[in-house]
Amino acid sequence: MSESTRYSKRTEGVTGSAIRELFKLTARPGVISFGGGNPSPAALPDGIVADISRELVASNGKVLLQYGMTEGLPSLREALVPYAEKEFGIRADVSGILPVTGSTQAFNLLLDAYTDPGDVILTENPTFLGATQAMRLHELRVVPVDSDDKGLRMDALEDAILKYRPRMLYTIPTFQNPTGVTLPTERRRRIAELAEKYDILVAEDDPYHSLRYCGESLPTIKSFDKAGKIAFMGSFSKVISPGLRVGFLICDDAKLMRKCVICKQSDDLHTANLNQAIVEAYLRRDLLAPHVAATCQRYGDQMRCMLDALETMEGVQKFTRPEGGLFIFAWLREGVNATDQLMKAVEKGVAYVPGTYFYPDGGHDNTLRLNFSNADIPTIRRGMALLADALKA
């Protein structure tokens, strides 16, 4: 190809997830990684999925291996109705639920269907890097809104709404990525009110919802939605398996949902049937609840182990104390650069993600994100000791 070849404007300057690139650098043999957002291997139900897969294909393979509907496997959509109500307090109609190829796709479809280049989208600050990348590929103007130790600040949010007239707000209200912070009930209710008042579509991303290790479950923003302005995105990646790529979108705006379906038709025609059927079996056979309970036990222990290590760690100024999810966010001393420190840490044998990547406008160089779901307790102990060493050096 000639050097002058022109590509699409939307991909100009979008370089791919910096985290995924960083992982390639830090993926040295023997390095303990607190970097990803991967489930524990022990939490991946390979035995059950192996048996279910065979059973499903043997008994219903002529349907599962055939083309399916873009709108999703009808029996999974039906099973998602009571699940949405029980788990998320969301009353949805079958027609308001769209199974998708991971909740990543749900967000991409919403951006396809609802936004035009140049539109403003508000986000938490910091926020999930993958979502920011999707916004950039849609040529949106990303405006981060100040957060405090409970998540989005409502005064800052309303100020930003008045100032920028955004089309959308993207938020992860529960055990946020990267901070682990959970937005209080009153702010959730308020977001639903602001969405109605100012005609803003809220993309509520709630993949960690079921992974709570202490405290009370909070109502979703969507459960306060009276005006059909909240689009809810759920995922089975954290509670069954990310490799299966099944999530779902719930949306009361029939026209918006129809547009999402049309866009999905061009994206991948439909989500793989077998993968949808495996999730359906988890829901219908009551396999999900006990699996999630066991996973919460495991991850809760791992989180407490990591928090204990942080308590006494020199060089760590502050850190979040999540009640669930996969991540802890930490602040090194002012002036210390977590990206520089990462290289030292990797040499010691441990890796994390510098927090700066999660801030749409950069900066906050002294922050870092630690994942506690992937490594077991002995590994977390060893890794945190290595990290303490690296930060001392």
- Using CB under 8 A as the binding rule, the residues of this chain from 254 to 273 that contact a second copy are 255-256, 258-259, 261-263, 265-273
The answer to whether residues 387 and 345 touch, using CB atoms and an 8 Å cutoff, is yes
For residues 87-126, which are near a second copy according to CB under 8 A? 101-102, 104-105, 108, 112-116
Residue 286 C-alpha from the chain's centroid: 24
Return the beta strands (E) in 3-75 as ranges: 32-33
Which segment (181-189, 226-234, 328-336, 357-365) binds a second copy by CB under 8 A? 226-234
Compute the distance between CA of residue 312 and CA of residue 333 in angstroms, rounded to an integer. Answer: 14
Under the criterion CB under 8 A, does residue 227 sit at the interface with a second copy?
yes
Under the criterion CB under 8 A, does residue 373 sit at the interface with a second copy?
no
Retrieve residue 78's tokens.
Answer: 């039906």
Compute the distance between CA of residue 383 and CA of residue 220 in angstroms, rounded to an integer. Answer: 35
Nearer to a second copy, 196 or 301 (CB): 196
Which segment (86-94, 234-242, 356-364, 380-388) binds a second copy by CB under 8 A? 234-242
Compute the distance between CA of residue 123 and CA of residue 185 in angstroms, rounded to an integer. Answer: 18
Under the criterion CB under 8 A, does residue 80 sit at the interface with a second copy?
no
Nearer to a second copy, 56 or 375 (CB): 56
For residues 144-203, which are near a second copy according to CB under 8 A? 199
The answer to whether residues 206 and 247 touch, using CB atoms and an 8 Å cutoff, is no
- Shortest gap between Cβ of 15 and a second copy (angstroms)? 7
Residue 124: strand pairing partners: 145
Under the criterion CB under 8 A, does residue 274 sit at the interface with a second copy?
yes
Q: From the list 75, 133, 339, 379, which residue makes contact with a second copy (rule: CB under 8 A)?
A: 133
Q: From the list 89, 219, 228, 300, which residue makes contact with a second copy (rule: CB under 8 A)?
A: 228
Under the criterion CB under 8 A, does residue 2 sit at the interface with a second copy?
yes
The answer to whether residues 105 and 247 touch, using CB atoms and an 8 Å cutoff, is yes
For residues 3-42, which are near a second copy according to CB under 8 A? 5, 7-11, 14-17, 20, 36-39, 41
CA distances from 151 to 148, 188, 193 (A): 5, 10, 17
Under the criterion CB under 8 A, does residue 127 sit at the interface with a second copy?
no
Nearer to a second copy, 11 or 95 (CB): 11
Under the criterion CB under 8 A, does residue 231 sit at the interface with a second copy?
no
Nearer to a second copy, 195 or 218 (CB): 195
Which segment (174-182, 213-221, 250-258, 347-355) binds a second copy by CB under 8 A? 250-258
What residue type is assigned to position 345 of the chain? A
Nearer to a second copy, 235 or 320 (CB): 235
- Shortest gap between Cβ of 287 and a second copy (angstroms)? 14
The answer to whether residues 151 and 176 touch, using CB atoms and an 8 Å cutoff, is yes
Return the beta strands (E) in 3-160 as ranges: 32-33, 97-100, 120-124, 141-145, 147-148, 151-152
Residue 231: strand pairing partners: 203
Under the criterion CB under 8 A, does residue 49 sit at the interface with a second copy?
yes
Task: Indicate the burial class of 378 (C-beta count within 10 angstroms; 0-12, 13-18, 19 or more).
Answer: exposed
- Shortest gap between Cβ of 374 and a second copy (angstroms)? 9
- Shortest gap between Cβ of 198 and a second copy (angstroms)? 13
For residues 296-315, which are near a second copy according to CB under 8 A? none
Q: Which residues of 307-339 are buried (b: 16+ CB within 10 A; e: fewer)?
A: bebbeebebbeebbebbbbbbbbbbbeeebebe
Under the criterion CB under 8 A, does residue 226 sit at the interface with a second copy?
no
The 3-class secondary structure across 354-375, one letter per residue, is EHHHHCCCCCCCCEEEEECCCC
Nearer to a second copy, 44 or 385 (CB): 44
Under the criterion CB under 8 A, does residue 57 sit at the interface with a second copy?
yes
Closest to 375 (Cα-Cα) out of 337, 342, 349: 349
- Shortest gap between Cβ of 197 and a second copy (angstroms)? 13
